[in-house]
């Protein structure tokens, strides 16, 4: 049997043993939703960086940069943090450097794990199908918000865990899985109504980003499998 | 309007501003359930200590000591960690020193707050009635398990927040409240069935403590209001 765990915020990541585990990174609003969109539209390679200083260095060396802080595009960046900016026209075949308030930090925290996958509602089934054929335990790492818990990542963790637990090879003894699955079962009947209760959805709506925020809860718009290789992300689907 | 927040584990406590807040400490399995039982049975004063060294010093100075580690009574202690040990016969009018693996540590973490209350399912309505008449915001602090999330404390936080949000003076913008309330609404129809999915319940059952564990989910068996005063706990009901 393969075990499933959920880590509800990066602050709790040190509580987990990483041996023989695939870490699945989740930042529904918005980093992992945007990363899946980028690869769907043909991005070749993504370099996640924590600091704006690093992002600026890449920019000065001629790289395309997407960078956001507290919901807003950084002045020197080519792109902000809307999935609608990353059209095929803008990014097909390109390499991009990416830095966000929250999500890219989670990727770097997880980067010492053996295997790291990027997931969102937009590629849920693709991620489920990939994971069900792997021979490792699964740790779903929620990015949360500034180190604390957020519902939207737990909801996604619940959706993914619920799908996987339908296969007999998976089990769990992790309370964070149980509560995330329960939460998903409360929300799934009308997810677009449910999200109105989420703090981060309301914050983005107040900033004028309602259409971006609700886009991130659409299920299976794409089939990409972004995976971390050393310090960059590629779409595993391109090499399968 | 008074705001309600939930902190899902002590590891996240530093994310919260404590100004003008009542901190409500929860450790359903088992510290706060046991503390409410102790006061129901007439305990006069409880001194929570973190370490077994401190507990032993008190013991050597003639105090009664209840101390548990990893589910088991410590050798030098007078009591372990079963609510059934703390009968009126054993503790009426007495002072007791108390140390547990998990829960007493949470109490000490919260001890710098202006106002600290101890809550469990056993005194849920008593706590609700007290809080609804206060003029401070409310932060429900879950003890979790070894720093990580546990369902049973979140469930209680949901039950308490749900009761308080029925009063117009309370509001929330905290995702941990929203998900805890949702979880409680899933569980409450058949709490004694639901708890079989909880890690800690199963762990205690495996240790032979099933009756103790299920006792901790009984609602409103008592009406005490344990509050922290400097370094000890008393029952506020005795001075109201």
Model confidence over B181-235: pLDDT tens digits? 999 999 999 999 999 999 999 999 999 999 999 999 999 999 999 999 989 999 9
**CA–CA separation, B150 and B146 (whole Å):** 9
Average pLDDT, chain B: 95
| CB < 8 Å to A185, chain B | 186
Q: How far is B223 from chain A (nearest CA, A)?
A: 29
* DSSP assignment of A101-167: SSHHHHHHHGGGSSEEEEE-GGGHHHHHHHHTT-SSEEEEEE-TBTTB--HHHHHHHHHHHHHHHTS
Average pLDDT of span B44-69:
96
Picking from B147, B151, B178, the nearest residue to A15 by CB comes out as: B147
Cβ contact (<8 Å) for B178 and A185? no
What's the mean per-residue pLDDT of chain A? Answer: 95
Chain B interface includes A173 (CB < 8 A):
yes
Chain A contact present for B134, CB below 8 A? no
Q: How far apart are alpha carbons B19 and A221 in whole angstroms?
A: 45
Segment A42-64 shows an average pLDDT of 96
Please give the pLDDT value at position A138: 98
Full set of structural domains in chain A with CATH? 2-238 (3.90.1560.10)
Chain B contact for A112, CB < 8 A? no
CA gap A156, A153 in Å, rounded:
5
CA distance B193 to chain A (A): 14
* pLDDT confidence bin for A108, thresholds 50/70/90: confident
Q: How confident is the model at residue A240 (pLDDT cuts 50, 70, 90)?
A: low
Residue A123 is predicted with a pLDDT of 98
Beta strand A2-7 pairing with A137-142: parallel
Q: Are B144 and B13 in contact, with CB atoms under 8 Å apart?
A: no
Q: What is the pLDDT of residues A109-152, one digit of tens each?
A: 999 899 999 999 999 999 999 999 999 999 999 999 999 999 99
Chain A interface includes B173 (CB < 8 A): yes
CA distance A118 to A176: 19
Confidence check: pLDDT of A90 > 90: yes
Residue A74, chain B, CB below 8 Å: the answer is no
Q: Cβ separation of A12 and B147 shorter than 8 Å? A: yes
Residue in A175, A182, A198, A203 to test binding to B, most B beta-carbons within 10 Å: A175
Tokens of A13: 């990541």
Residue in A15, A148, A197 closest to B178 by CB: A197
Give the closest of A149, A173, A182 to B175, CB-based.
A149
Residues of A in contact with B199 (CB under 8 A): 173-175, 178
B148 to chain A, any CB pair closer than 8 A? The answer is yes
Summarised one tens digit per residue, pLDDT across range A225-235 is 999 998 999 99
**Res. A154: pLDDT tops 90:** yes
In this prediction the pTM is: 0.96
Question: Who's near A98: CB < 8 A, 6+ residues apart?
Answer: A31, A35, A46, A47, A48, A49, A65, A66, A67, A104
Q: pLDDT class for B240, splitting at 50, 70, 90? A: low
CA torsion, points B50, B56, B62, B63, in degrees to nearest 10? 20
pLDDT in tens, B70-117: 878 999 999 998 999 999 999 999 999 999 988 888 998 999 899 999
- CB of A175 less than 8 A from some CB of B: yes
Which of A139, A144, A148 to mutate: most B Cβ within 10 Å?
A: A148
- Percent of chain A clearing pLDDT 70 (strictly above): 100
Residue B31, pLDDT score:
94
Alpha-carbon gap, residue A146 to A87, rounded angstroms:
29
């Amino acid at each position: 049997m393969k075990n499933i765990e959920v880590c509800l915020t990066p602050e709790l990541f040190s509580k987990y043993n990483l041996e023989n585990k695939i870490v699945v990174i989740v930042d529904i609003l918005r980093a992992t939703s945007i990363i899946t969109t980028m690869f769907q539209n043909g991005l070749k390679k993504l370099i996640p960086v924590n600091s704006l200083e690093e992002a600026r260095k890449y920019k000065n060396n001629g790289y395309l940069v997407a960078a956001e802080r507290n919901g807003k595009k950084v002045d020197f960046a080519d792109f902000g943090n809307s999935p609608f900016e990353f059209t095929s026209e803008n990014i097909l075949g390109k390499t991009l450097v990416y830095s966000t308030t929250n999500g890219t930090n989670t990727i770097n925290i997880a980067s010492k794990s053996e295997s790291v996958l990027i997931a969102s509602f937009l590629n849920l089934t693709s991620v489920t199908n990939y994971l069900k054929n792997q021979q490792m335990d699964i740790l779903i790492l929620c990015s949360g918000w500034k180190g604390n818990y957020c519902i939207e990542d737990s909801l996604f963790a619940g959706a993914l865990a619920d799908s996987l637990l339908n296969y007999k090879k998976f089990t769990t003894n992790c309370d964070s899985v149980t509560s995330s699955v329960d939460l998903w079962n409360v929300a799934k009947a009308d997810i677009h109504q449910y999200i109105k209760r989420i703090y981060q959805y309301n914050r983005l709506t107040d900033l004028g980003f309602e259409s971006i925020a609700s886009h991130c809860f659409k299920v299976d718009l794409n089939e990409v499998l972004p995976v971390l290789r050393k310090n960059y992300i590629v779409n595993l689907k391109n090499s399968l």
